[in-house]
Structure 1
Amino acid sequence: MDRKRELKQQYKDTPRLMGVYRVVNKTTGRSLVEVGRDVNARLNRHLTELRFGKHPNRQLQADWNLLGAEAFDFELIEALKPLDKPDYDPEEDLELLLAMTLERSEFDKERLYNR
């Protein structure tokens, strides 16, 4: 029983990949750009929602349904290294990183799925 508890705690203590990521439509060039405290989990959630036709972004879901999974890529744009503070909350840093990322010229606001 202790081994199970140790493994559970070890999993909780494992640092997660945080940062800005995107779901990109390779056919149209449109992207959904977002941030996440656990990028891998967020990308997995997007993939699951798209596969089951339940993604909250209707435009993205419609393109997925029309073009199929092979027309999309999931990419990490920029990782955020967490500060080594016990009370550190990365939300503010993630939102700032997202704003800075979206201001870059490579992201045409007309080609974003973001609302």
Structure 2
Amino acid sequence: MTDKRDLKMQYKNMKQPMGIYRITNKVNGRIFIGSSKTVDKVWNRISFQLQNRSYPQRELQEDYVRYGKDAIVFDVVDYLTPREEEPDYDYTDDLKTLLDIWIEKLQPYGERGYNSKLPG
């Protein structure tokens, strides 16, 4: 029988889906583009923050309060494929690059979105 330690190790070694997500306001069409190393779980955290009025993106939080939770939808727009040959690989830079590609493509700024345009 597998003991608790083995089960914990198996869970730790499981590949979590990583990728790029979009939060869309169905009322005004504005979007937020983000990335996560646990993209299948990030919506739980974000929706909890929105419900508790503690989400750090102020405009999205205000729209959530104004229009209600049914006006805000979450979807994954792209997944990052893990490197099987490198189990300890750090995907931070890869996710940043993929996020930059999607932000460039969708331009989620101003009236179109909730992302902040960085100077430069």
Q: Same fold (TM over 0.5)?
A: yes
Partner of 1:79: helix, strand, or coil?
strand
Q: Which residue of 2 aligns with 1:52?
A: 52
Name stretches of at least 5 consecutive residues in structure 1 with no aligned partner.
none
Which residue is equivalent to 2:90?
89
Hey, what's the Cα distance between the residues in 1 that align with 2:53 and 2:108? 26
Q: Tell me how far 1:108 sits from its aligned partner.
A: 4.5
1:61 corresponds to which residue? 61
Note the alpha carbon deviations across 1:95-115, whole angstroms, 9 max, x for none. Answer: 1101111111x4453312112
The one-letter code sitting in structure 1 at the alignment partner of 2:13 is D
Relative to total residues, which structure has the larger helix share, 1 or 2?
A: 1
Work out the number of aligned pairs and report it: 113
1:75 aligns with 2:67: no
Amino acid across the alignment from 1:64: Y
AA aligned opposite 1:62: E
CA 1:98–1:83: 2 relative to 1, 3 Å: same
The change in CA–CA distance for 1:114 and 1:108 in structure 2 (over 3 A counts) is closer
Matched, 1:39 2:35: no
RMSD in angstroms over aligned alpha carbons? Answer: 1.4
Percent of pairs with identical residues: 36
**Cα deviation, residue 12, structure 1:** 1.1
Using structure 1 for the length normalisation, give the TM-score: 0.89
Once the two structures are superposed, residues 59-97 of structure 1 have per-residue CA deviations (whole angstroms, 9 ceiling, x without a partner) of 111100111110011000100001121341111111110
Conserved? CA contact 2:20–2:99, under 8 Å = yes
The equivalent of 2:102 in structure 1 is 101
Three-state SS of the structure 2 residue aligned to 1:40 is coil
So what's the TM-score if we normalise by structure 2? Answer: 0.86
Unaligned segments of structure 2, at least 5 residues: none
Q: Which runs of 4+ in 1 moved over 3 A?
A: none
The answer to whether the aligner puts 1:23 opposite 2:23 as a matched pair is: yes
What is the SS of the residue equivalent to 1:66?
helix
Is the contact made by 2:108 and 2:115 (CA closer than 8 Å) also made in structure 1? no
Deviations 1:36-61 (A, max 9, x none): 10012221110110011111111111
